[in-house]
Chain A
Amino acid sequence: MSPWAIALFQRDLRLSVRVGGSALVGVLFFLAVVTVIPFGVGPDLNLLSRIGPAILWIGALLATLLGLDRLFQADRDDGTLDLMLMAGRPLELVVLIKCLAHWVATGLPLVAAAPLLAVFLNIDPLAMGAVTLTLLVGTPALTLIGAIGAALTVSLRRGGLLLAVLVVPLAIPVLIFGVSSADAAIHDPVPFLTPFLILCALSLIAAVIGPIASAAALRFATD
């Protein structure tokens, strides 16, 4: 990677983990969502372990949405975005690196917390491993798709809600294949690899479409 890319990655990572960053809040929100479900569904362990992967996935989706609204807005508010447009670096790559740093700071902790939260939901070890693996390959897609919404709502004061409305429908395919590959690992007859590879493909597609669409939206957001 070239020096400017590394500098941008390090800066975004520092900003997320230092005071005022949102890295830890996402994990706490994830914890809150997942712990609340058993209280609502009741102490039916079989039911919990059956819907557990889905709960973890929905929790991860909501936690990802929570931190996304500041992805570009913080840079727009203090004039950094203007300078980034003039810096002579390809904006698509800038967006991709920002998403990568954002995922390392907020998505990766969610993946790391997933096995622990799986215990709360009575998920057996094999399924625990499967759902963690699907989250590992699937959450980057959530961040990258969310970046499109973050770029579109960058100039709005209260863009967070609109962002969620815009992004959730686009995230449905990721959710479907994430949960179905986790389920496939538990129920033997269904192959695990088929939905899992589609999930990987969704992440790769998002890595192309997300930055291009976000960069186009950001270019229009300056005037």
Chain B
Amino acid sequence: MFEDLSFSLEGGCALVVTGANGIGKSSLLRTLAGLVPLAHGSIRLEGGVPDTPPEEHIHYFGHQDAVKPALSALENLRFWQSFSAAAHVSGFSDGPVKPLEALDILGIGHTAQLPAAFLSAGQKRRLSLCRLLVTPRPIWLMDEPTAALDRVSETQLLNLMNTHLAAGGLIVTATHADLALEKTLILHLQTGDTADLPLEEAMQ
């Protein structure tokens, strides 16, 4: 799927993956998440928890919300809080947030007791974002994080992402929107035949 693709990212840095539809942004993120096996090459994480694979340091925030309509918003969140193992690494200092507080931060505290079936698409998306806050993990992989979010939530999301970066976390995000993130690298994916360089890396 990818050729000559190589990048490295330091703590506190965000990588924005851009490119046309179908170029493989989502596939790249799923590969990093360990959900798609590598044909060649390697993914290395330095300074992680010993004897733990990279994907257990990662929060994957994809197109699907992983929200169960039959459970209330709080029940959904409590489950992920106890089910996902936290990854405590040096150089990353973001502590866990309580489920109710996380719902409040994302502005859906009033829906805590409602079955998630009653939430709108944007609210479900925000509930899914809360998952990233209740279990501290240093790496966030976000596929189109602004999809279905309104302007206010977009600002909240940016604040959260910047807080995560400030705490020493890493973010890799595939997006079409302009995200005002601090310390951003851009990875632009292109098909091999339209350009000589399949990969163009630029520093902002």
A: residues with CB less than 8 A from B are: 3-4, 6-8, 11, 14-15, 18-21, 77-80, 82-89, 222-223
Contact = CB atoms under 8 A, between A and B. Distances in A.
Contacts of B68: 11, 15, 78, 80
A223 B37 contact: yes
B90 interface: no
> How many interface residues does chain B have, given as a range?
20 to 34
A13 to B, nearest CB: 11
A91 to B, nearest CB: 12
B198 to A, nearest CB: 22
A86 B82 contact: no
B83 A14 contact: no
A7 B82 contact: yes
A18 B71 CA distance: 8
A3 B82 contact: yes
Nearest to A86: B55
Contacts of B63: 79
Contacts of A79: 62-66
Contacts of A19: 70
B36 A222 contact: yes
A78 B60 CA distance: 13
B83 A89 contact: yes
Contacts of A20: 69-70
A182 B80 CA distance: 43
B109 to A, nearest CB: 21
B52 interface: yes
A84 B62 CA distance: 13
A78 B35 contact: no
Contacts of B67: 78
A193 B83 CA distance: 41
Given A83-B84, A223-B36, A18 B60 contact: no
7 contacts: A4-B82, A4-B83, A18-B70, A21-B70, A82-B30, A83-B84, A86-B55
Interface centre among B37, B70, B131 (most CB of A within 10 A): B70
Contacts of B66: 78-80, 82-83
Contacts of B52: 88
B98 to A, nearest CB: 15
Nearest to B79: A11
A86 B34 CA distance: 8
B58 interface: yes
Nearest to B83: A4
| Interface core residue of B30, B75, B79 (most chain A CB under 10 Å) | B79
Contacts of B69: 20
B70 A86 contact: no
Nearest to A76: B64
A20 to B, nearest CB: 6
B79 A15 contact: no
A5 to B, nearest CB: 9
A6 B82 CA distance: 9
B56 interface: yes
A108 to B, nearest CB: 20
A20 B85 CA distance: 29
B79 A83 contact: no
Contacts of A11: 68, 71, 75, 79
